[in-house]
Chains A and B, each alone.
Chain A
Amino acid sequence: MASEQVTRILESESLKSLTLRRWVICSIVALYVFVGVPLWFKLTEIYRAPLPSNFINLLHSQGNIDIRITNEVYLDVLDGLKFPDLAEAIQVQINHRLEQERVQSPMSVLWNASVLQTSEEVPSDAYVLHLELADNEGISLDETQKHATLFYTMESVKNNDLPFFATQAILDHIFATERRLLTPHKHGINSLRYSPKVHLSFKLLTGDGYPLDWEIAQAIDEYFTPLIQEFKTFINFTIDSEIKYFAQLNLPEGDELTLTDASLSTVMDFAEWDISSNQFSYPTLNFVLYYPSVEQSPLAFHDNTIGSLHSYLIPQWGSVVLMENSIDANTVISKQSLGPLLEVFTSELFKLLGIPTDPKTPQIRVDAMKKYSILENIDRGVDSLVSLLKLSESLPDMSIPKTVLDNVKMALSSRQSAVDKLNLQNDFNGALVDSISMVEHSERAFFDREMVQQTFFPQEHKIAVYMPLIGPMTLICVLALLRTLKEVRLYNKKYYE
């Protein structure tokens, strides 16, 4: 304990001096605490927007269990016959079969077909199953409408086989492709990921340097445009064409090379031909018609069936048709002769886009692709969001700007909107648009430039920068503050009691 003399010295301070000293420390500490600290917080803050991690993880682990796809099929009995309870009977059978299959090979979503009696108004783009009395049982699908006709005999009516046949027609014919696509399976390597816009580039390549022309624009208008019109609601195509000269094949000199699928990649050098560049933000598919140069022709093909086109599919890239002989200078390839070529390219395009080949009715295929793409988009979007979460968790010093959060929110609300449209309104086009928007927003969130570029400082680096100035000044202030607090206790007794 301090001696009496020291205590006397300590307590000898005048009230005025004491108050002054308190004001001095107060003014500095006030500046420190009320101006310095908030500004410090503001100026060195690494903003990390709160991502809805629980919800995203839930979506990731639970899959698409909240999605329900219901297809309506209208039953239309021709020939004036009436089966009042047929619809219910078919529905029972369908439900029974789906129930069984759900156990054996579950689909990725809750899928159902509901059978309706034909009422006055059947929507023009609805699935309709016509029942027609015939000599033999059979099924035929319309090529222009989403209509199918089931031929039945009186025999089957008697045996009460009609519901069974109808169920088969619906599940195994009309919706066969759709059900196959919606069952979890390996993604074909040929096909592109779904994109609402795809660029198609038609190229005429020749090994020579003599001017050529082709009536490709007219040919496309005539043979190709009507086909892709069917896909208008699904994919929007942009098209261009070009002619390139001096595209030589890398044939080994001297000996004859027989072209096979395997040797193709060494023979054709797209980079050298300068045709692989993509100026668009969306995928490009290339369709090449190739004429060899005079020196290199005729080409020898492995499967030299005379008259057929030698077309080669290059996954994710496009398709090449190699011609056997060179082409004469100054030739204009007419619209008509391009017709079959475009037919080949069309079927290659379907393969490249992963559009199924059956059934014949294009609308049914497009419908199946739409549903498949919606689910694929939603999965992709969720995957991006999960990756974003992982990234943000692994780098705790990285800033997460508000724009990222906004994009995540937009992605999630797009997903919700897509699910609502599927479940409640059967609005597949709307759901597709929403699912695309979900992918876009989730990818924008993941690839946010600010987040990627933001440099961050490790903690020890920060301390090294802060310590030299802030350290001593803080220490001085804190010690003075402690002393003042001590004195307050001491002197309050003396002056105020």
Chain B
Amino acid sequence: MYSRNEILVVAGSVVLRSAISLCLPGVSKTLQSSIQLSTLMTSHASLLEGIYLQELGLDPYDGGLVHQAPLLVSLMSQLQGTYDLLYPLIDAYIVITLIKLAKAKNLKLAPWIVGASYAFNPIAVLANQAKSSMIFTNASIVSALYYAVEGYASLSALWIAIASYLSYTPVFLIIPLTKVVARAGNVLNFISVLILSVGLLIGASYQITGDWKFLNSTYMTVISFSKIAPNMGLWWYFFTEMFEFFIPFYTMVFSLYNVAFVVPIALKIEGLFAFVMTIGWLNFSKPYPELTDLPVYLSLLLILEPCFPYLGYVLLSALLFLHSIILAPIFYHLWIDLGSGNSNFFYAITLAYSLAMATTIGDFLWAYVQMSYHDEHPEEKNVKLSQL
């Protein structure tokens, strides 16, 4: 069923990640506090704090620290001590799902390459050490996509419900996902299971915590951007510097900007493609982005292999990514630890990172547009295209 290469990739990913956490425990500790790899919403420390407070009998959501979903906190408190294995296994699951996804799409690219692109992506490896809880969301998103492609409408709905429950932003992925599901599965089924599972998840959380405070900590904080801390996104510095009077207004503008293209992309573009592009757009414009978002997105871009010939700015995007990812921790260090730089250094780098995201989105969209034109007009095979 699985080729040797694929098994090697999966095994390799687990071994590599476990080896680092076993041999170099300090690395994990350092990375956990890196603001590039996890944010206030997803940091491992706040998850542990939530578990600790719960064990003390305190309400983790009566305070300003814990933003993870209640079910995740409860689940993780059951799995204490297994984290060093659990996180590599979840990554392995992502790798397997990516391979299965690649197989389902019958790419020219060998499926193991797609898997390897995640398994051995240095950022994915580091993010795994940082133990950002975003990894659970990522796994859910990939699963949801895989089952949608395979036509399992209910499973797909369940997974996207979990992803949305864990970190709110994926809720907008439902729209392109519906389009994917529509090709092979039952949309009605999808929607009913989706509503049911979201209701169940929220209801169960209410049962566990006893009140609705968790909604405020988990979702309202994201929607209203009430916690400001440096991250890789566009929001934080803008709102730190913004005049108080305009903060509510611009929070609204940024939130709308965040979802502005969800519907248009789903309208214009084929399902899978739309799904990946929406992930890109959401990652680009969401309030609390982190580098942990990136590896899944990059690996999913590989699934869009058919449009590769039309890509024009691969090098530019790659360089922008490299530049910003390497400089981000350095400039952050200069600002925060050494004091020889100031906040503008890091801000400039987050702008570069955002530009890199924007370039990939633009590049792939343009590639898709050209590809679909050529599919519709096979006679104009090698004609250069332009927009009007």
Contacts and interface: CB of A to CB of B under 8 A. Distances in A.
Contacts of A14: 376
Interface string B261-273: 1011001100000
Interface in A1-57: 14, 20, 23-24, 27-28, 31-32, 35-36, 39-40, 43-44
B243 A20 contact: no
Interface in B220-250: 243, 245-246, 248-249
A484 to B, nearest CB: 13
A306 interface: no
A43 B252 contact: yes
Contact of B248 (A32, A35, A43, A457): A43
Nearest to B244: A455
A345 to B, nearest CB: 54
A424 interface: no
Given A455-B245, A457-B245, A27 B253 contact: no
Nearest to A45: B249
B150 to A, nearest CB: 27
A469 B242 CA distance: 13
Given A27-B263, A27-B267, A465 B246 contact: yes
Contacts of A28: 260-261, 264
A24 B266 CA distance: 9
Given A40-B249, A43-B248, A465-B243, A35 B263 contact: no
A453 B275 CA distance: 48
A23 B267 contact: yes
Contacts of A271: none
B256 interface: yes
Contacts of B260: 28, 31
Interface residues of A, number: 19
A44 B245 CA distance: 8
A35 B252 CA distance: 9
A43 B263 CA distance: 25
B267 A44 contact: no
B256 A24 contact: no
Contact of A39 (B252, B259, B267, B376): B252
B384 to A, nearest CB: 15
A44 B253 contact: no
Contact of A31 (B245, B249, B256): B256
A470 B253 contact: yes
Contacts of A32: 256
Given A36-B256, A469-B253, A20 B267 contact: yes
A478 B261 CA distance: 16
A43 B268 CA distance: 32
A246 to B, nearest CB: 51
B256 A44 contact: no
Interface in B11-25: none
A72 to B, nearest CB: 60
A24 B264 contact: yes
Given A36-B252, A36-B253, A36-B256, A44 B263 contact: no
A215 B180 CA distance: 95
Given A31-B256, A36-B256, A465-B243, A44 B264 contact: no
Contacts of A24: 264, 267-268
Contacts of B249: 39-40, 43-44
Interface string B103-129: 000000000000000000000000000
A35 B245 CA distance: 20
A31 B243 CA distance: 25
A14 B261 CA distance: 23
Nearest to A36: B256
A455 B245 CA distance: 8
Find the residue from B245, B246, B260, B263 having the highest chain A CB count within 10 A: B245
Contacts of A44: 245-246, 248-249
Nearest to B251: A43
Interface string A68-112: 000000000000000000000000000000000000000000000
A459 to B, nearest CB: 13
Contacts of B259: 31
Residue from A28, A36, A43 with most neighbouring chain B CB atoms (10 Å): A43
A35 B264 contact: no
Contacts of A469: 253
B353 to A, nearest CB: 19
Contacts of A455: 245
Interface in B342-388: 376
B372 to A, nearest CB: 10
Contacts of A465: 243, 246
A20 B268 CA distance: 6
Contacts of B252: 36, 39-40, 43
A27 B256 CA distance: 12
B256 A35 contact: yes
Contacts of B245: 44, 455, 457
A465 B239 CA distance: 12
Contacts of B267: 20, 23-24, 27
Contacts of B256: 31-32, 35-36, 39
A28 B265 CA distance: 11
A123 to B, nearest CB: 61
A205 B253 CA distance: 67
Contacts of B253: 36, 40, 469-470
Contacts of A35: 256
Contacts of A36: 252-253, 256
A471 to B, nearest CB: 12
B264 A27 contact: yes
A14 B260 CA distance: 26
Nearest to A455: B245
Nearest to A35: B256
Nearest to B376: A14
A35 B259 CA distance: 12
A469 B285 CA distance: 14
B172 to A, nearest CB: 12
Nearest to A9: B388
Residue among A20, A27, A36 with most chain B CB within 10 A? A27
10 A-B pairs with the lowest CB-CB distances in the bound complex, closest first: A43-B249, A27-B263, A24-B264, A43-B248, A39-B252, A44-B249, A23-B267, A27-B264, A36-B256, A465-B246
8 contacts: A24-B264, A36-B256, A40-B249, A43-B252, A44-B245, A44-B248, A465-B243, A465-B246
Given A31-B263, A40-B253, 20 more contacts: A20-B267, A20-B268, A24-B264, A24-B267, A27-B267, A28-B260, A31-B256, A32-B256, A35-B256, A36-B253, A36-B256, A39-B252, A40-B249, A40-B252, A43-B249, A43-B252, A44-B245, A44-B246, A44-B248, A457-B243
